């Protein structure tokens, strides 16, 4: 079920996710392989670099009111992942800064 949902999410990516994916795809950032909309346990993360145990989430304004993000981040951290949350506006306004932060 989560694999089907992940496939749908890849097809329905937000503009910010598409923009960040253009930077991350094909090992475009430091030679690291990122995957998008990847199931990890009960969650589907926006982007993950499995070799670095790094999850990158791109969030819009609805996430500022979401208590579920803290639970999600805590669970992923318990599994050994570092979670980096980026606002859509930052992805649009400073993609090079986003790249540096992810590096």
- Asked if residues 55 and 41 have their Cβ atoms less than 8 Å apart, the reply is no
Overall number of domains in the chain? 1
CATH of the domain at 75: 3.40.960.10
Q: CA distances (Å), 75 to each of 31, 66, 69, 80, in order?
A: 27, 15, 10, 9
**7 pLDDT higher than 80:** no
**79 pLDDT higher than 60:** yes
- Give the pLDDT band (50/70/90) at residue 81: very high
Q: CA distances (Å), 100 to each of 17, 59, 87, in order?
A: 17, 18, 15
Amino acid 63: pLDDT = 46
**67 pLDDT higher than 80:** no
**CA 17 – CA 76 distance, rounded (Å):** 20
Q: Please state the pTM of the whole predicted model.
A: 0.87
Domain coverage including residue 66? 2-102
Provide mean pLDDT across the span 31-51: 96
- Give the pLDDT band (50/70/90) at residue 62: low
**CA 52 – CA 55 distance, rounded (Å):** 9
């Amino acid at each position: 079920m989560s694999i089907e949902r992940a496939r749908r999410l890849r097809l329905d990516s937000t503009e910010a996710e598409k923009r960040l994916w253009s930077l991350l795809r094909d090992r475009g950032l430091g030679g690291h392989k990122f995957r998008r909309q990847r199931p990890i346990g009960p969650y589907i993360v926006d982007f993950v670099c499995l070799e670095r145990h790094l999850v990158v989430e791109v969030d819009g304004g609805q996430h500022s009111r979401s208590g579920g993000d803290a639970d999600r981040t805590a669970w992923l951290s318990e599994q050994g992942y570092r979670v980096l949350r980026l606002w859509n506006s930052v992805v649009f306004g400073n993609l090079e800064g986003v790249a540096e932060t992810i590096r």
